[in-house]
A and B are shown apart, each in its own frame.
Chain A
Amino acid sequence: MTDQTALQYTEEHEWVRVDGDTLTIGITDYAAEKLGDVVYVDLPAVGSKITAGAVVGEIESTKSVGELFAPVDGEVVEANQAVVDSPELVNSDPFGEGWLIKVAAAGLPKLLSHDEYRALTGE
């Protein structure tokens, strides 16, 4: 069970785990719940450079398409193949096995704390 209070968050309903220069990024349970059953995940290639605020991936449910925004400038060092093969992991374990990408970050952006994020979603 992931300790959600140890994660940081964005206003685009993504979570970020900071581990030195490496950030692990996923979408929150709130976002997954709003999307419905995720059936397709498109992630950026390992080695690609990403720019904060840019759309770098897509999370599709039967009903709609969610965009994955880069929360930071950096380089993608890992993309979660398990979630590409089994997109339902985004719904079943959004903070754990449903993680999306790992990024070597060029500096840390301003992120929301768990309390700040929960205030945002009203939960």
Chain B
Amino acid sequence: MTDPGTTETGTIERRSPLDAVHRAAGASFTDFAGWQMPVRYSSDLAEHHAVRTHSGLFDLSHMGEIIVVGPEAALSLDYALAGKLSAIAEGQAKYSLLLDRDGGVIDDLVVYRTGEDRYMVVANAANREVVAKELRDRTSPFETDVFDESDDIALIALQGPDALEVLQQAPGFGMQGPGNDEEDFVTGLERLKYYRAIAAEYEGEPVLVARTGYTGEDGFELYVAPDLAPRLWDALRETGGPRVVPCGLASRDTLRLEAGMPLYGHELSRDILPVQAGLGRVVALTKEGDFVGREAVEQGPAADAPVLVGLAAEGRRAARADYEVYDGEGADAARVGVVTSGALSPTLGHPVAMALVAPDAAEIGRGLFVDVRGTRVAASVVPLPFYKRQA
């Protein structure tokens, strides 16, 4: 077999502030957008199952954090992004998109309103520079400043059904502000709703604790100073013991796939409009004023433009990214689309995939075939997500 090692980009290798912790834990690494990040610690399946049953700890320090601040921060983001960011309250987060003039997706983002005049935009590692540049350009007519603080912010995610309890039990946390103690933090976490964040402290240093994630489970994302990250990581592991399993990017990918969450460069790109990926609701067409990409989004995609669907198959052979989708088994069958992500679902035990297919092949229940390295594998169009946690 050929060496299935990871791609070498030739660019400068970036390392997480948790790099030494991962090496000590015996992690295997992969190149991700120029970063050397853990792909797995021992078993990506075990890591996947840990997140579904207890909790998993992820280092996401490669993600970009861009601060947008100023009296017109809200107004400028309404123009720069697809969503109505002025409508979210302090302490609230919103999933949003950075569109180009043609309505194509430059990146998908989570935007936190961390103050009346302050937002934190979290971008994919590969898109950090372009997102920072676009935000700078687009907000330049406004009373707004943009700072790329990615190098000064580490990100740790604790995801899974045990995440709340572990975080509540971890020592060293408190709420920011005078007179607050650990008890307030425990209560604050309990009350924290999905897509909300609280300004907390860990060992007296600020940490933004958000109830967000990319796994389909309950969980938290913790934004902290890089020098604090290793201590916080170790503390969460010590607190949780066997209930907290360090997880690499391999399990992160299968978890988000089961949860039907798009990954930039796979389900999302400049070549598709948000509505094609099922993200029409993310674009606030009802908001006042112009925003970048508005005209193209209002016009909509061509009638035959592909749409994102879920595919489920039997057996164990997974459809993978870039495999072609056909409407029949025979050599004369028409090509109707392409797989964007796929894997043998660890939770469900059968192959699942997301694919961009022609709209007339996209109805739920439709039987299609994926060309898996020369073999046509039968698959059915199914609703997304593949996996939804029990409430």
Contact = CB atoms under 8 A, between A and B. Distances in A.
Given A40-B316, A58-B373, A62-B344, A34 B44 contact: no
Nearest to B6: A34
A29 interface: no
B45 A34 contact: no
Contacts of B318: 40, 60, 62
A67 interface: yes
Contact of B346 (A62, A66, A67, A68): A62
B5 A34 contact: yes
Contacts of B346: 62
A37 B1 contact: no
A116 to B, nearest CB: 16
Contacts of A14: 1
Interface residues of A, number: 26
Contacts, number: 69
Contact of B1 (A31, A36, A40): A31
Contacts of A35: 4
A75 B253 CA distance: 39
A20 B61 CA distance: 54
A79 to B, nearest CB: 16
A91 B3 CA distance: 15
B4 A66 contact: yes
Given A60-B344, A65-B373, A36 B316 contact: no
Nearest to B251: A62
A36 B317 CA distance: 16
Contacts of B74: none
A31 B3 contact: yes
Contact of A66 (B2, B28, B48): B2
A39 B4 contact: no
A82 to B, nearest CB: 16
Interface string A64-82: 1111110000000000000
Interface in B320-348: 320, 343-344, 346
B2 A36 contact: no
A12 B1 contact: yes
Nearest to A120: B3
A13 B5 CA distance: 12
Interface residues of B, number: 24
B254 interface: yes
Contacts of A66: 1-2, 4
A59 B44 contact: no
Interface string B246-265: 00001001100000000000
A36 B44 contact: yes
B4 A40 contact: no
A60 to B, nearest CB: 7
Nearest to A40: B316
Given A40-B317, A60-B317, A62-B250, A69 B39 contact: no
Given A60-B318, A63-B44, A39 B344 contact: yes
A105 interface: no
A36 B39 contact: yes
B169 interface: no
Interface in B23-70: 28, 39-40, 43-46, 48
Contacts of A67: 1-2
B2 A40 contact: no
A16 interface: no
A100 B253 CA distance: 28
A36 B4 CA distance: 10
Most chain B CB inside 10 Å of its own CB: which residue of A14, A39, A62, A91: A62
A65 B373 CA distance: 10
A33 interface: yes
Residue of B1, B4, B43 contacting most chain A CB atoms (<10 Å): B1
B3 A36 contact: no
Contacts of B45: 37, 39, 62
A37 B43 contact: yes
Given A39-B45, A64-B4, A66-B2, 18 more contacts: A12-B2, A31-B3, A34-B3, A34-B4, A36-B250, A37-B46, A40-B317, A61-B44, A62-B44, A62-B45, A62-B318, A63-B250, A65-B4, A65-B320, A66-B1, A66-B4, A69-B2, A91-B43
Interface of B: 1-5, 28, 39-40, 43-46, 48, 250, 253-254, 316-318, 320, 343-344, 346, 373
Which 7 pairs between the two chains have the least Cβ-Cβ distance?
A66-B1, A40-B316, A37-B45, A36-B44, A39-B344, A63-B250, A34-B4
8 contacts: A12-B3, A34-B4, A36-B250, A37-B43, A39-B344, A60-B317, A63-B39, A67-B2
Interface of A: 12-14, 27, 31, 33-37, 39-40, 42, 58-69, 91
